[in-house]
Structure 1
Amino acid sequence: MPKLVNHAERRTTIVEAAWRLIAERGIDGVNMRDLAAAAGYTNGALSHYFGGKDEILRSAFEHVLVETNRRIDASVGSSHGRAALRKVCFEIMPLTSSAALEARIAVSLWQRAMNDPVMKRINNDAVGQWKAIMRRHWTEAIAAHELPPTDVDRGVELLMTAIIGLQITAVLDSDAASRGAQVALLDRILAAEGRCG
């Protein structure tokens, strides 16, 4: 009887191998031969699970975003307002070693997303979801008098831009992106936006 193959599990194994290689070498350092070896397959075997390198890279990018969303859901739980807003930000910011690794992967893949409309859409959809979640919790925090009144849309744009900047800083100069410095920046933005609103 032929051995049953878990197609989804093998795709995940390949995507995780792509993660590791992108984190180590950057996107330009990933080729199909090395990717197959890192995943434990022959080069030809990858074609059974993906249509080529572009599809693998897109799947790796999606996987980073899915993992971030999973952490956001688990962290926020039933929280509301300022506490929930900070938890959302904490899961996107490169505060842990795993989040810093994801930032390395995301920063490398943004280069490809500039010229790949599918990856650009994947990124923009994820950022749009994060902004909507931030907007909801920031509005709750204002209603609960946990944060001062402000233009929430402007605050969310500033916050998201700062977080993306922190991801880049964590990749290029990790010493400048300590946990304390990142959290202090987040809290300054939340407080300062109320004074500017």
Structure 2
Amino acid sequence: MPRTVDAVARREELAAAAARVIVRSGVAGASMREVAAEAGWTTGTLVHYFRNRRELLRFTLETSLEGRRRRRGNRDSRDPADALRVTLHDALPIDDDGRLHWNVTIAFCAQAGGDPEFAALQRDAYRDFRTDVADRVRAAFPTESDPLKEAERLIAVVDGVALQALFDPESWPADHQIVALDTALAER
């Protein structure tokens, strides 16, 4: 009897392998052969699930961005201010998942610079995040005159802290990242 393969799970497994290769070797180093080797499969298996490298890279970025979006959605709290704080904390590279996401995102920034399709994926993810944070700002601080502008400010803090934490992790451990973000929240 032939084995049944969960195609969605296999594609996600291959995208996770691609993400690891991208973190280690950059987008340019994420060849079909390297990704297949990382996953423990043949390139033939990889081609069965992804027609080409571009399709694999796109799916890898989409999977990373969607994972972060789902994580935000699963962290709701009864207290709107706490929900905002947790949403922003979850966007920081304070754990393995967060560091992986940020490293993949940064690797794809260079790709997005010359590729409108990858730029659109990043732009749409930021717009979604900005809307989510603005909604949480509105709920947490009903008197806030411009929730969208406050969301943009807070996301800029997240981005700045995240970049520093990735490039200088010894100076920016998780607790330091959280204090920096909480300070920005308290300054509103």
Q: TM-score, normalised by structure 2?
A: 0.89
Q: Is contact 1:80-1:140 (8 Å) kept?
A: no
The answer to whether the 8 Å contact 2:161/2:180 transfers is no
Which of 144, 166, 179 matches 1:184? 179
* Alignment partner, residue 115 of structure 1: 114
Equivalent residue for 2:89? Answer: 90
- Correspondence 1:141-156 to 2 at 5 A: 141-143=140-142, 149-156=144-151
Which stretches in structure 1 are left out of the alignment for 5+ residues?
none
Q: Does 1:163 align with 2:171?
A: no
Deviations 1:54-89 (A, max 9, x none): 11111111111111122212222x434211101110
Deviation readout 1:15-40 (Å, 9 max, x if unpaired): 11101111222222222111111222
3-state SS of the aligned residue for 1:28?
Answer: coil
Q: Give the match for residue 172 of structure 1.
A: 167
Q: What's the counterpart of residue 70 of structure 1? A: 70
CA RMSD of aligned residues (A): 1.9
Aligned equivalents of 2:3 and 2:170: distance in 1? 49
Pair 1:183–1:60, CA change in 2 (3 A): same
Secondary structure of the residue aligned to 1:176 is coil
- Distance in 2, matches of 1:170 and 1:53, equals 30
Q: Which has the higher helix share?
A: 1
Equivalent residue, structure 1, for 2:46: 46
**Cα offset, 1:94, TM superposition:** 1.0
Aligned match of 1:60: 60
CA deviations on 1:134-182 (whole Å, 9 max, x unpaired) are 1111112222xxxx74532222111112212222222211123222322
1:12-23 alignment runs, 5 A limit: 12-23=12-23
Residues 100 and 170 in structure 1, CA contact (< 8 A), matched pair in contact too = no
